[in-house]
Amino acid sequence: MTTVDFAPLFRTAIGFDRLARLVDTAAAGQDAQSYPPYNIEKTGDDTYRLTMAVAGFRPEELDLTVKENTLVVSGRMSPEAQKSEVLYRGIAGRAFERRFVLADHIVVEGADMEHGLLHVGLKRVVPEALKPRKIAIGNAAPAAIANDSRDAAKAA
């Protein structure tokens, strides 16, 4: 893969260093393993569901962690489950770790397991301060507004 140079962007933009990390993560993800398989579904306008096939794992053998906009799903089978003699292994039970980069304001709502599938609910929760809001237009003349704000400043 060719290397992308973000130097021109960084000369005129502030705060886009996360973009470079995302590109690096995506490039590294192309070479990553494909176990366990997963689906990412959009279930609503602001809701998503991650479904991972984790056959053979019990809920206590799985770990979900969110840190710095990254969801890490890892699994490690307990030593008791690995003690039995298996004549043929068609169901993989190896340890794994999968990382998913979360967009801003995406939170994990919860997780559950059913029929060997781990379902993780995700939702975009935009803070009130960042949501668009209507500004009411008053009937006062601009000069009256300026005088009112000067009077308020003098009173303070």
The 10s digit of each residue's pLDDT in 28-57 is: 655 556 889 999 999 998 899 999 999 889
Could you tell me if 44 and 116 are in contact, meaning their C-beta atoms sit under 8 angstroms apart? Answer: no
* Residue found under tokens 């000369």: 11
DSSP-derived letter for residue 104 is T
Could you tell me if 77 and 149 are in contact, meaning their C-beta atoms sit under 8 angstroms apart? Answer: no
Q: Where are the domains of the chain?
A: 1-32, 35-130
Checking if the pLDDT of 72 tops 80, the result is: yes
Share of the chain above pLDDT 70, in %: 67
Closest Cα partner for 9 from 1, 58, 22, 50?
A: 22
Average pLDDT of the residues in 15-23? 64
Percentage helix, strand, coil for the chain under 3-state DSSP, each rounded to 5: 30, 30, 40
Checking if the pLDDT of 151 tops 70, the result is: no
Task: Compute the C-alpha angle 142/143/146, nearest 5°.
Answer: 90
The reply to whether the predicted model has a pTM over 0.75 is: no
Q: What is the pLDDT of residue 84?
A: 74
Long-range contacts of 111-114 (CB under 8 A, 24+ apart): 111/64, 113/54, 113/59, 113/62
pLDDT (tens digit, 9 = 90+) per residue, 109-150?
999 999 999 999 999 888 877 778 888 888 876 665 555 555
> What topology is assigned to 35-130 in CATH?
Immunoglobulin-like (2.60.40)
**How far is residue 34's CA from residue 25's CA, in Å, rounded to a whole number?**
15
